[in-house]
Amino acid sequence: MEIDAFNDLLTDQGQALLAELREFKPGEELAVATRLRKSHPAPLVTAAIGQARLRQRARAKFGPDADAMYFTPDGVEQATRRSVADWRAERFAALGVRRLADLCCGIGGDAIALARAGVHVLAVDRDPLTCAVAAANAAALGLTELIEVREADVTEVDVTGYDAVFTDPARRTDRGRVFDPEAYSPPLSWAVEAARRTPFGALKVAPGIPHELVPDGAEAEWVSDHGEVKEAVLWFGTNATAPHRATLLPGPHSLTGGHLPDPATGPVGRYLYEPDGAVIRAHQVAEVAQQVEGRLIDPKIAYVTSDRLLPTPYAQAYELTDVLPYNAKKLKALLKERRVGTVVIKKRGVSVTPEELRRQLKPSGPNELTVILARTDGGPLMMLGQPAA
């Protein structure tokens, strides 16, 4: 979408079209476009239909706000989910941040959350269309007094006088994801330096960042939302006593640590605990094992077992009924015997595709069962049970 076409959406005619298209169905696109082009310019109709599609996609991230906001295709995909942006904004506000430079602001998702937390934001991006979208979003949500959008190269922005810097470097190119942090735009090393120019700083990185690349003095936080790891952030100036933090949303629940040695291993007990992905990324399985008085079933597999049920928000507990060497035929026979028609298959460290295994098992019946497959030193196991209350 060109910036002129986007600006046309902000006119009265464009706004009327967007309102009309709010609930249109993608399968009706051709008929809707044909009808609307009889009374509206074709480029405006194309832009409005495109924007309506993006708003529908964005509802998963932004909820009801999406219907008032504006997006680009990359912006929908790369923008921070609202729940995660709200959590980060709360952390900044709790640190006493009142003025923040949001570098590589994109469509303004983080700037919106920060402004709602009472922070004055300078939102910077070098792309003219992206800046226009960010400014339109601030206006649409009534936040223009707290958000200043500036089109500029972030490496040339003076952050003197700001309490904090937040940087979200581009981690994609035309060829796909970038895995080398120094190939981010701007590079990790520059973003770290920028984060240290103000009393507080935060830098968004890929969740899979190797721990050895976390700079000295930084607090590394992994955030998951409804069990799905969404991002990792390097924090500066927080004076954290532990190097790692795993935050689970909703909640929030934050587990700090990173100092404990690896847990001991031992036989599978009555309960199996599956740590949240953020906990695993933060290398805090040992903290969960300590909480549930547990042990690992294998030194390289992030399943914790215990003889006690000790609820924790950082892991899903399962009460086991069977622990057997993995055998697909035996499993199929057990499911048939117990009239199991709904099977949840989880696995770690075994070369089994859950979808293919489910086809082999051909489950049928009114009952449900969770099957957990895992590698151990004694060979692959299949553990059968149910989520514990």
**Residues 229-238 pLDDT 10s:** 999 999 999 9
- pLDDT at position 176 is 74
- pLDDT at position 377 is 92
- pLDDT at position 2 is 87
- pLDDT higher than threshold 90 for residue 142: yes
Residues 140, 146, 150: CA angle, nearest 5 degrees? 85
- pLDDT at position 214 is 94
Q: Please give the residue that has the higher pLDDT: either 6 or 170.
A: 6
- CA torsion 140-142-148-150 (nearest 10°) is 0
Smallest CA-to-CA distance from 204 within 183, 181, 224 is with 181
- pLDDT at position 29 is 87
- The whole-number average pLDDT for the span 60-80 is 95
- The radius of gyration of the chain from alpha carbons, rounded to an integer in Å, stands at 25
The mean-pLDDT minimum among 174-183, 325-334, 375-384 falls in 174-183
Q: Where are the alpha helices (DSSP H) in the chain?
A: 3-9, 12-20, 29-36, 42-62, 73-78, 82-94, 109-116, 128-140, 188-195, 277-281, 285-291, 328-337, 354-361
The pTM score is 0.92
Cβ–Cβ under 8 Å, residues 127 and 104: no
Report residue 104's pLDDT band, with 50, 70 and 90 as the boundaries: very high
The mean-pLDDT minimum among 7-21, 178-192, 243-257, 367-381 falls in 178-192
Q: Which tokens hold the place of 76?
A: 């929908």
Q: Under 8 Å CB-to-CB from 50, ≥6 apart: which residues? A: 1
What single-letter amino acid sits at 143? L
- pLDDT at position 352 is 94
- pLDDT higher than threshold 90 for residue 307: yes
From CA 1, how far away is CA 107, in angstroms rounded?
14
- The whole-number average pLDDT for the span 52-61 is 95
Tokens 């019946």: give the residue. 365
- The whole-number average pLDDT for the span 29-49 is 93
- pLDDT at position 25 is 86
- pLDDT higher than threshold 80 for residue 173: no
Q: Please give the residue that has the higher pLDDT: either 25 or 95.
A: 95
- pLDDT higher than threshold 90 for residue 263: yes
